[in-house]
């Protein structure tokens, strides 16, 4: 019974953490920096890292033998995201948030196929 209650508590805590995380944008961390220069640097570095993760996670999905039937749909969705990424954003904050959101989507897909994300 204790194991069941512990598992239930862990599930509830995990659900709460995911919901709390969804309320914040990736760029919100950068807004806490003291100067505009620090905020700009934070956004630039965050964007670079997020884009590397998008590229790496997408490539891992496409290269994996576990993802055979849905590679075309993954590629199609990624191309759609990339065009939206280019047309919607005009500053690093928007780019950073969109790249972080895409990484979250990719990581959910990767978890489905038991693939470790970057």
* DSSP result, 24-54: S-TTHHHHTSSSHHHHHHHHHHHHHHHHHHH
50: CB partners within 8 A, 6+ apart = 26, 96, 99, 100, 102, 103
pLDDT at position 26 is 77
Residue 118 domain-assigned (yes or no): no
Residue 87 domain-assigned (yes or no): yes
Residue 22 domain-assigned (yes or no): yes
Section 58-74 average pLDDT: 87
Residue 117 domain-assigned (yes or no): no
Residue 99 domain-assigned (yes or no): yes
The pTM of the full predicted model, rounded to 2 decimals, is: 0.73
- What is the span of the domain harbouring residue 95? 2-112
Q: How many domains does the chain have?
A: 1
pLDDT at position 14 is 58
Residue 68 domain-assigned (yes or no): yes
What is the b/e burial string over 13-52, where b = at least 16 CB atoms within 10 angstroms of the residue's CB?
Answer: eeeeeeeeeeeebbbeebeeeeeeeebeebbeebbebbbe
Residue 46 domain-assigned (yes or no): yes
Residue 39 domain-assigned (yes or no): yes
């Amino acid at each position: 019974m204790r194991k069941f209650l512990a598992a239930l508590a862990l599930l509830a805590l995990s659900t709460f953490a995911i919901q709390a995380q969804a309320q914040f944008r990736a760029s919100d961390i950068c807004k806490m920096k003291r100067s505009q220069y620090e905020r700009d640097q934070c956004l630039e570095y965050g964007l670079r890292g997020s884009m590397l993760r998008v590229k790496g996670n997408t490539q891992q999905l496409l290269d994996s033998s576990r993802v055979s039937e849905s590679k075309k749909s993954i590629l199609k969705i990624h191309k759609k995201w990339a065009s939206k990424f280019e047309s919607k954003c005009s500053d690093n904050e928007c780019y950073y948030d969109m790249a972080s959101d895409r990484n979250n989507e990719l990581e959910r897909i990767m978890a489905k196929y038991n693939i470790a994300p970057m």
